Amino acid sequence: MSEQIGTGEMERDSRLQLITQGEWAGWSMWRSDAFEQRAGPFYEKFEGGEGITAFRAGQEHMNGGGFMHGGCLMTFADSALFTIARPAMEGSFGVTMNLSGDFLDSARVGEFVEARGQITRAAKSIVFVRGLVTADDRPVLSFTGIIKKVGRR
């Protein structure tokens, strides 16, 4: 099954499970990543070619002070990095080379946490991305990342 991404099409990865009911109806969820399952799960969807990643903040995402753990936000940003970069990956796998985040504000239990961004440059073997994570539309993390393409699926 393929889906429209950017100006082209991409084969839907079988590890992506399309959710059809409940709060996440219309979103897809990755099932193969051990750490990400424990940290999230995180959901993604494409709107007009733009990759959006999201999850609902729960108690399990917080630190001792009742705010979202910085590592949770960075794990989410790492996931969002690949969703945003999808249109430029051209069927290749990728590894994160660099991930950097400015922590703007805290996210709290119950908030809708979402990441949107842009590919700032898609080179032959490197993809540069920047993005913003919001909690109930309030900016909480400003991030940049660099992905190195490694081989093809």
The site for its own copies (CB under 8 A) is made up of 15, 30, 32-36, 38-39, 59-65, 67-72, 74-79, 93, 95-106, 120-121, 126, 128, 130, 132, 139, 142, 144, 146, 148
Least distance between its own copies and beta carbon 19 (Å): 19
In one-letter notation, the amino acid at residue 114 is E
- Pair of tokens at residue 4: 């429209």
Least distance between its own copies and beta carbon 149 (Å): 12
Upper half-sphere CA count for residue 130 (Cβ side, 13 Å): 4
Map tokens 């590894």 to a residue: 95
Is 26 or 95 the residue whose CB approaches its own copies more closely? 95
Is 45 or 148 the residue whose CB approaches its own copies more closely? 148
In one-letter notation, the amino acid at residue 70 is G
Least distance between its own copies and beta carbon 103 (Å): 5
Sign of the alpha-carbon torsion through 44, 46, 49, 53 = negative
DSSP for residue 31: -
Neighbours of 20 (CB within 10 A): 9
Is 4 or 96 the residue whose CB approaches its own copies more closely? 96
Least distance between its own copies and beta carbon 21 (Å): 25
Sign of the alpha-carbon torsion through 27, 46, 96, 58 = negative
Least distance between its own copies and beta carbon 122 (Å): 10
Is 7 or 59 the residue whose CB approaches its own copies more closely? 59
